[in-house]
Structure 1
């Protein structure tokens, strides 16, 4: 029953309904139907005092729980980084000069510097400055800090960065559920990098945003000396050094004005460790430190005892190859394990009793040990060790390390560990999983384990793999955590061995290749066990897990071309397994595997997961080389549609912004550029929805592309861009000669109404300034842009519409609702005030049920709207069809808001009596 009827029959009260619903009444529950709106409003009225104070999970879930902590430097390492603004003239003067932080738009500041120049310190200092910067009340800001780590693959791409930033936001604001519909209007990005990044992507950076922090910048030397003073002050205070020694150190270090932050840090570390502290002793230390980083590292190398050079080489290879900082237990096991060990106990007995002491004694300043984690002290160490320019005879084991050799060392350790007898049975079924001393010594600590989420998607369940792997208790987080405590290297080995082996497969011994092949054969337990751990990790979730894990499919998936070639010798060339292998190799971007499988006869048009094809998979994930290999094959259908929605390779490339792949596909004459998917979306629409302007422009220039194409919902590219508030895209589309900005959807809703209904004020302004826009357009329900802006509760969008004299301020829709009625429903007093300020709204207008806006506002319990209406002259003595005044109706109810009655009574008392002079 409509609320208007309720107000007349039983004012401001709701009625109970029968539990039986007639089939004919189901049509009343269609989207946006009147009865459904009434139900929503009734619920809102009853729950108006319910408030969500805070809602959050105590533990992160995927993908946030896949983040791994990056060990920070010790506290002493960053002493002196929290400088006030006046000591950081180089950086802060630039920020103030360019008004980066105060720009009323998204902004990027890109600091460029060579290794060791202080990018990290500058970032920390600037973050601290921004955190404590006084912020205007109307412009609160949140400062987020994220350091990419080349040693952690998950923390050096865009997805990892965004995930890390989101996690920081959630940690700081647990009650974000209250602001789920709010977004920051502007985002300021501070990027620090080496110069090579700017050279590789020069066109991606906006002009004027790059700043070199170590090339003749006037503030750099001053900041360096400030850092020196802070470190020397702290060291002198802790060592109780005399003023003359402190003065000597300041003079000696500050005189090296051409040095870097990392060089100064190295000198300070040497001073920290000295037991002699006369001026001559300190002078000797400073004079013996080499003048640059490369010389420092060479000095470290020459300082390693000849007796430990082979050991040092092996340890460095493990650290260089590691996908993330290693736990002390992990590097201990990987360093120790050999082909002679049969089980975990054998390895434990052979491990170093104090690996921390071993690492510090042999590698010394090359490494940083933080709690139970070890890593290289700086990225420049990795650059130094892997640089292919040393051919000295004195330390050949140390100076001939290559990336492949490092990968081979780690791959060998991982494969040997996964092949131990402990894992030749179902380890999850073991009942004796008590914590053991696999690695002895005080330094042996368990690594932190990831939470384990759901493993299998619907397709894998249908194919039976999910059931196979669920038969054990392995997916249970507690079970895995207990097992991981016992087998401390298993987690790392299971998650990373394929990555390491892929880098060194060609140089691996035949024995290691055979062992690797056995580890991708699901028929044996050693494979079965590590696969369970692999798929349980949140980082492997998604649509890429092969359901039919045949060895050649696994080899293709993990990018092992030599293994694939070896397995091809025993497989029938007509076996459909080859087609599945080709699909996953294409999806993962393994070009050599794709080429080998195509040559072996794999069908590039075979449908695999969700009917998707190899070419579409490669295009979707941005693997240009695989795309070229596939389209070069004469058998490949360039326009083959697949997946849930029948999309082509071009469609996927456009929606993911892969420009080079789009260009490659467009060079093929047979490419159907405007082919729509099952939803009616063309590649052009996908490019627009993704915000990829360069691709959209490329497609729009082609005469065979309809830029006004309507999808199955009747939506055009402009309609989607307007809804999402993609201002730059909207501008681009409006500048296209062939664009029709008024093409409406199946409900005759225009792009302007879509923008207004979603509160896209800037987009509305862009559209309204275009002379071709039909401001008066209405949809099937006779609703225009103003109606939609009010229904969404968007005052800014409404003000823009009113500024441009958009019609429809007091127009009724098919249900008799005016924009004012929609604003009242949304409890938006600001929208109500904006409408009434036009002077074009009949504040006493009655809807089809005979009620005024004030009746509705009181009925909803919307006190701010009631006050706004009364301020603008709404009549509190208005009556309904039954001849009863609102105050009379409201007073008869036991649960009406007292404040509303008070407002009504006050305004009635202020009104002059009827008929008085």
Structure 2
């Protein structure tokens, strides 16, 4: 058997063995850990063997010998575990497995004999594990011998496995699947293939030079991110070079960085999916997510909240933030990116994207994994200005480009000469002529070759002396060759190819050009001929017709004197008029279809992604539905009015207008907040949707003047026409609506801020504020009471000063955020400054300013600070009323010394100023836990310092630091500022504060370094040991008992020891209890001052776990009485009725619920007196009387029944007030009488001859 066969056989056996061990691990939970661990070892071995299978270079003779040994050992092991494998396959018995077929019913012990000897099995596993180690070493050695880095290989395998697991996980993630559908705009791989189909394959040797370019090699091999700009004039083969680069980068990444990612995007100004900055980012993100599904985590939160709206054209800023997160993902070692033809996206869109790219690479970003290539022309001027700092390859001055053109010419001419039969001398002359006149332009060469292809050899010889001097002259010749009778059709075709919003199909062009089918040829065949009349200006890809190159559009749009193209557009001097005619043609197509449907509502023509929603449509209809508004917006006002007038019947039919707008795809009519109700749209709403001011004027002119305000501010759900204009990004429409009387409401301003955050445009916010929008106002809400006054005139709220009531303010902010708050949340510093500069109220927007102060990213706070006056600062940071949120409190809590120092100096703040509750900013600084921060603030405030202030501060800071666990701050205040480490504060000292919070480090510092007495007592008479036991802090107990040797049996309040406190631990955990008893030898049965055991406290306070530990582990008697005759079950009732604890005592430990204490009380009496709750009446009756059989007629020492006591306490306050008062007074007197008697007999209560008198005698003695 060869090495490959050995590897395959071994892999199969190892996998079977792995599955068996995995099943053992899942089934037999008591199986030895050594057996369970083998699953991981076997999986690793299987991976090693698979690597040998896949890589022939790893199949060395030594590796083959190791694989043979692995195969032999695996066979032995499979035979040994055969009984187990059979037991897994046996079906489970119907009787629950008693017949022996149930694996779940077996234990490892029960199958041990079937495995012969467990030791033998483990020995065989050990042999296999040694073989695994040897195989791994040999693979490493073999890998090194063939130049493979083992570390990179493992990283690659791990990354691939992770990505596969992520993709498997995401396969069931509906959000991921939906996100991939929503983010999809175009597939870059398909775009690349389509370009190759249209332009032809890359000529051999024409692009290889780039691989040897120093600039490209440095960019490719650099360890950090980098930007490379490749620029060149039109027709220089930039797109073909981009295609070659994308292919080369993919090969490089696969060979050198298999864990890296590659993403590319080909821009095209004729395709709406490929001519916007947002589309570029969506394409790159889709490409990256497709390769690594784990990157979805960077989109998930935003996508969950906003859905597909984050992928709209107006959400560029959001997309860029997500893109930055993706390219900074530390899991990815490198990301190679390429953007081709960046100059072909819209000018505004291009500026935004290029600015972001410049910002990304302006400063070294260690987190950025993106190495980016941008390929474009050298204009507009904005490109070289912004990309001047990047590494650059200029194709115009690159000698290798000229050499590539010569290679292209030689290969093409050789092929042409062979086909046409050129003599050698003619072939040489053609090559020479093309080389001399190419001027570095591939496009010119390709055009001339196409012309030569149409000529005979003799004609070629004659034409070489008259070759066109450049691409424009080639285009000029093409147009001159059009005969007069064809010019009108060619003119129409070129107009739509030049000014159309996207490439039209052959049928669409036939419609606009008036071309009809003939008797023998269908319309597509005829149209192909007509397109051919345009020469090489146009190309047909599939069914779509487009200009051959961007330079063709530049040529047709240029206006040169005496140029032949002027003959083609003599009556259309303005581009606006062309678009007006096109809008009319589109509207005619829509109206024609509308009439043919007899006014019925049309089905959507396009889906949300712009694809055809139905298969068969009249020619031009899908284009017309999608783009008639676009063509209208490209006209001037007068031309637009003319179009509206010509199609007035359609525009006056609002339902028809809405229906056909809806037919253009659902994405276009959704609003940002999801409250858009399409059926409620008014004509003004529709005008805002399509962004046509003359249409708005047209509809507004028909509304009476007195009702125009209502028409302008009418809502469709929560959406007004103004909101729609903001969402759509129509600034001119927005200004028109505001001028006519649309109200700049809270909702409109919030929408404008959202638009500013996602598109980096603040013009909408500026315009709204100019027309009276108030930046800190909140919306009207009839459901919420708040301290704001409503102004009906402007439909806005205005504050009555600082917010009057905190509760009301919180209610408002719980439901709404002010515009300033929204700007802070969106991290839009420019909008923040704009809002503050334009509103006298915005500086009082406490919530927004609090949020900015708390944000570690100081940009928002810096923007706010720049706009605040000294008066604003004093209002915000001064001594505000106690119910107001104090901004200075938040500033101090950040621990930012620079910021707080700046606030003090700029706004002249007194950091010693006392706030409500006796605190000051300096004392609160201790809460930051930063020694340098606190020390720096005290130094900064030294001019306001006095000995009295410093003494008070030192005591307060030590107290706070002890509570919060900041030992270094305690040390600072004691050593540097003279604080007393044992200074009393309201009856307690710092060690009590620290122990009560379980701050072991502070307790240790106080006792060990600062020499505080650990036995000091608090106002209740307890020490740090008692408090530590009560909070269940085992660390503090160990510090006190183990390190500082505090006596474990010292008593506190009511004679309780640490044991009693641990039994009622606040943590409800046995750890503190067990440390005291097991580690420090505390007697678990010790009694407190009233003779109560730890169990008496546990049943009333702690968890079932502590009760069981005391009884089962430490053998406390559940029936033991204290001095008052109470057993633990009485204590449970006395502490307020612990249902589960009482049940445990009765049901598990057999405690009699009828036993009485010294006063003759049963559990029922004690509960009625001490733990009764009117809401528990049913539980009380059912639990005690019905379930455990207490008699309702049993009387205590006062002659009262439990039911009577409980019933009296349950009396309504109106009818039984006197009776309740009497019972309460009786209870209080009896309690005091018991305590008085106990104090008198404290030293003799264990003497059996001394018994507590009955209740009547007790009360009588006490009253006497």
| TM-score, normalisation: structure 1 | 0.58
- How far 1:560 moved relative to its partner? 0.6
- How far 1:537 moved relative to its partner? 4.5
Task: Specify whether residues 131 and 323 from structure 1 end up closer, same or farther in structure 2 by C-alpha distance, changes over 3 A only.
Answer: same
Structure 2 partner of 1:209: 391
* Paired residue secondary structure (1:115): coil
Q: State whether structure 2 residue 600 is matched by structure 1 residue 426.
A: yes
| Contact 1:366 1:381 (C-alpha < 8 Å) held by counterparts | yes
Structure 2 partner of 1:594: 734
Task: Specify whether residues 103 and 52 from structure 1 end up closer, same or farther in structure 2 by C-alpha distance, changes over 3 A only.
Answer: closer
Task: Specify whether residues 173 and 330 from structure 1 end up closer, same or farther in structure 2 by C-alpha distance, changes over 3 A only.
Answer: farther
- How far 1:284 moved relative to its partner? 4.0
- How far 1:183 moved relative to its partner? 4.2
Task: Specify whether residues 734 and 249 from structure 1 end up closer, same or farther in structure 2 by C-alpha distance, changes over 3 A only.
Answer: farther
Larger RCO of the pair (alpha carbons < 8 Å, separation 6+): 1
| Contact 1:586 1:623 (C-alpha < 8 Å) held by counterparts | no
| Contact 1:616 1:649 (C-alpha < 8 Å) held by counterparts | no
Matches within 5 A, 1:395-434: 395-398=566-569, 400=572, 402-420=574-592, 421-426=595-600
| Contact 2:413 2:430 (C-alpha < 8 Å) held by counterparts | yes
Measured in 2, the distance between the counterparts of 1:737 and 1:104 equals 41
Structure 2 partner of 1:196: 379
Q: State whether structure 2 residue 632 is matched by structure 1 residue 501.
A: yes
* Paired residue secondary structure (2:262): coil
Structure 1 partner of 2:410: 229
Task: Specify whether residues 277 and 119 from structure 1 end up closer, same or farther in structure 2 by C-alpha distance, changes over 3 A only.
Answer: same
Matches within 5 A, 1:212-611: 212-214=394-396, 216-236=397-417, 243-256=424-437, 258-271=439-452, 273-278=453-458, 281-336=459-514, 352=523, 354-390=525-561, 395-398=566-569, 400=572, 402-420=574-592, 421-426=595-600, 452=608, 481=613, 483-504=614-635, 506-508=637-639, 512-514=643-645, 519=650, 523-524=654-655, 526-537=656-667, 543=673, 546-547=676-677, 548-571=680-703, 572-578=707-713, 580-605=720-745, 607=747
* Paired residue secondary structure (1:416): helix
Task: Give the structure with higher Rg (CA).
Answer: 2
1:78-106 C-alpha deviation (Å, 9 max, x unpaired): 444564876337x722222xx21222222
1:77 corresponds, among 196, 199, 215, to 199
* Paired residue secondary structure (2:213): helix
Measured in 2, the distance between the counterparts of 1:816 and 1:291 equals 92
Q: Could you list the runs of 5+ residues in structure 2 that have no partner in the other structure?
A: 1-27, 37-161, 301-328, 335-368, 715-719, 780-812, 878-884, 905-923, 931-965, 970-996, 1002-1031, 1036-1069, 1073-1264
Measured in 1, the distance between the counterparts of 2:577 and 2:494 equals 11
| Contact 2:180 2:286 (C-alpha < 8 Å) held by counterparts | no
1:160 corresponds, among 258, 276, 279, to 279
| Contact 1:88 1:223 (C-alpha < 8 Å) held by counterparts | no
Task: Specify whether residues 573 and 303 from structure 1 end up closer, same or farther in structure 2 by C-alpha distance, changes over 3 A only.
Answer: same
Q: State whether structure 2 residue 668 is matched by structure 1 residue 668.
A: no
Measured in 2, the distance between the counterparts of 1:348 and 1:422 equals 27
* Paired residue secondary structure (1:426): coil
Task: Specify whether residues 452 and 660 from structure 1 end up closer, same or farther in structure 2 by C-alpha distance, changes over 3 A only.
Answer: closer
| Contact 1:152 1:324 (C-alpha < 8 Å) held by counterparts | yes
| Contact 1:638 1:670 (C-alpha < 8 Å) held by counterparts | no
* Paired residue secondary structure (1:291): coil
| Contact 1:95 1:101 (C-alpha < 8 Å) held by counterparts | yes
Task: Specify whether residues 582 and 652 from structure 1 end up closer, same or farther in structure 2 by C-alpha distance, changes over 3 A only.
Answer: same
Task: Specify whether residues 386 and 636 from structure 1 end up closer, same or farther in structure 2 by C-alpha distance, changes over 3 A only.
Answer: same
Measured in 1, the distance between the counterparts of 2:268 and 2:673 equals 26
Measured in 2, the distance between the counterparts of 1:567 and 1:404 equals 23
Measured in 1, the distance between the counterparts of 2:762 and 2:444 equals 42
Task: Specify whether residues 109 and 598 from structure 1 end up closer, same or farther in structure 2 by C-alpha distance, changes over 3 A only.
Answer: same
Measured in 2, the distance between the counterparts of 1:302 and 1:257 equals 22
Structure 1 partner of 2:110: none
Measured in 1, the distance between the counterparts of 2:1000 and 2:722 equals 52
Structure 2 partner of 1:435: none
| Contact 2:538 2:546 (C-alpha < 8 Å) held by counterparts | yes
- How far 1:749 moved relative to its partner? 12
Structure 2 partner of 1:791: none
- How far 1:161 moved relative to its partner? 0.8
Structure 2 partner of 1:843: none
- How far 1:193 moved relative to its partner? 2.0
Task: Specify whether residues 506 and 316 from structure 1 end up closer, same or farther in structure 2 by C-alpha distance, changes over 3 A only.
Answer: farther
- How far 1:419 moved relative to its partner? 0.6
- How far 1:289 moved relative to its partner? 3.7
Structure 1 partner of 2:992: none
Task: Specify whether residues 319 and 546 from structure 1 end up closer, same or farther in structure 2 by C-alpha distance, changes over 3 A only.
Answer: farther
Structure 2 partner of 1:27: none
Deviates more, 1:320-329 or 1:641-650: 641-650
2:775 corresponds, among 615, 632, 638, to 638
| Contact 2:236 2:441 (C-alpha < 8 Å) held by counterparts | yes
Measured in 1, the distance between the counterparts of 2:227 and 2:294 equals 29
Measured in 2, the distance between the counterparts of 1:153 and 1:422 equals 29
Task: Specify whether residues 578 and 381 from structure 1 end up closer, same or farther in structure 2 by C-alpha distance, changes over 3 A only.
Answer: farther
* Paired residue secondary structure (2:389): coil
* Paired residue secondary structure (2:539): strand
How many residue pairs match? The answer is 651
| Contact 2:507 2:524 (C-alpha < 8 Å) held by counterparts | no
Measured in 2, the distance between the counterparts of 1:606 and 1:675 equals 14
* Paired residue secondary structure (1:146): strand
Task: Specify whether residues 406 and 569 from structure 1 end up closer, same or farther in structure 2 by C-alpha distance, changes over 3 A only.
Answer: same
| Contact 1:586 1:617 (C-alpha < 8 Å) held by counterparts | yes
Structure 1 partner of 2:1242: none
Structure 2 partner of 1:757: none
- How far 1:192 moved relative to its partner? 1.5
* Paired residue secondary structure (1:195): coil
Measured in 2, the distance between the counterparts of 1:284 and 1:700 equals 78
Q: State whether structure 2 residue 742 is matched by structure 1 residue 629.
A: no
Measured in 2, the distance between the counterparts of 1:178 and 1:596 equals 42
Measured in 2, the distance between the counterparts of 1:264 and 1:816 equals 86
- How far 1:220 moved relative to its partner? 2.9
| Contact 1:113 1:195 (C-alpha < 8 Å) held by counterparts | yes
| Contact 1:586 1:614 (C-alpha < 8 Å) held by counterparts | yes
Q: Report the RMSD for the aligned CA atoms in angstroms.
A: 5.8
Matches within 5 A, 1:827-842: none
| Contact 2:490 2:531 (C-alpha < 8 Å) held by counterparts | no
* Paired residue secondary structure (1:637): coil
